[in-house]
Structure 1
Amino acid sequence: MTVSKKTYYINISDGEIQSVSTASPWNFKIEASDEEISGLREIFDQGHSTGWQNFMRAHVPYVQYHYDRENDALDSQLLKTYEIIYKLGDEEARHHIESMGILPEK
């Protein structure tokens, strides 16, 4: 059984997934199945929720960044996002992510 993949355009900062390149600004172009897009959407949704937790926690000035679990969660979600985009992205997306040096060497 062949899984049908479609082209999507991803905006990392807004957590947007679009099927049309002109709908809004985008950072990466990927080819993904419906299931893969659902997984990416779930990570974006988790990031949005964690972002709100960070906003609320930001009003507690005595917690340093490296001791903040919410920041760790947000960093982890962002890393997962880049891993998925690297896996599903076009050559330009993979090259850009490699140039960032954020993914572990395989």
Structure 2
Amino acid sequence: MSTKNTLYVSVSNKSLDREASMNEQLEVRGTEKELEKLRQMLEQLQRDDEVTQFRAPIPYKSADHDKATNQFNDDLLKLYQLIYNLGTDKTKAHIHDMNILNKLQNSDYDDPGYEH
């Protein structure tokens, strides 16, 4: 049976640390293989973030129909799902309370301004 290690994830900093810090972090437990996948997903999210930040200032460009933004959102959803799967009960409760998995899966096209 593979040994599970505890690490702390900061999505906003896109970091995975062995020790908890004062910053917002989510505690996860996983095998080396699972934690490596998490590390790779954080690196991918960093790359996605770099691409979207250069596209954001383009005038009249709707970010909700942008491939780079869609990729970022898809990768963010996958990341939070993996964190949830590897998370402690406290981490799972936090993600559940954030309701982020549901929000990322459902667009807000019903809001005013998104007709047609």
Greater shift in the superposed pair: 24-33 or 40-49: 24-33
In the TM superposition, residue 75 of structure 1 has moved relative to its aligned partner by 0.8
Question: Gaps spanning 5+ residues in structure 1: where?
Answer: none
In the TM superposition, residue 17 of structure 1 has moved relative to its aligned partner by 0.4
In the TM superposition, residue 9 of structure 1 has moved relative to its aligned partner by 0.7
- Verify the 8 A CA contact 2:56 2:63 in the aligned structure 1: no
Q: Give the alignment of 1:3-82 within 5 angstroms.
A: 3-22=2-21, 25-82=23-80
Question: What is the percentage of aligned positions where both structures have the same residue?
Answer: 25
SS of residue matched to 2:101: coil
* RMSD of aligned residue pairs (Cα, Å): 1.4
1:28-73 alpha-carbon deviations (Å, 9 max, x no partner): 1111111111111111111111111112212322210111111111
CA distance in 2, matches of 1:61, 1:21: 40
In the TM superposition, residue 26 of structure 1 has moved relative to its aligned partner by 3.8
- Verify the 8 A CA contact 2:38 2:82 in the aligned structure 1: yes
CA distance in 2, matches of 1:40, 1:54: 21
CA distance in 1, matches of 2:48, 2:87: 25
Distance change in 2, residues 1:26/1:34 (3 Å): farther
Q: Which amino acid aligns with 2:17?
A: Q
Larger radius of gyration: 2
Partner in structure 1 of residue 114 of structure 2: none
Greater shift in the superposed pair: 58-67 or 75-84: 58-67
SS of residue matched to 1:9: strand
CA distance in 2, matches of 1:59, 1:101: 28
Could you list the structure 1 runs, at least 4 aligned residues long, displaced by more than 3 angstroms after superposition: none
Partner in structure 1 of residue 86 of structure 2: 88
- Verify the 8 A CA contact 1:4 1:33 in the aligned structure 2: yes
CA distance in 2, matches of 1:49, 1:71: 12
TM-score normalised by L of structure 1: 0.87
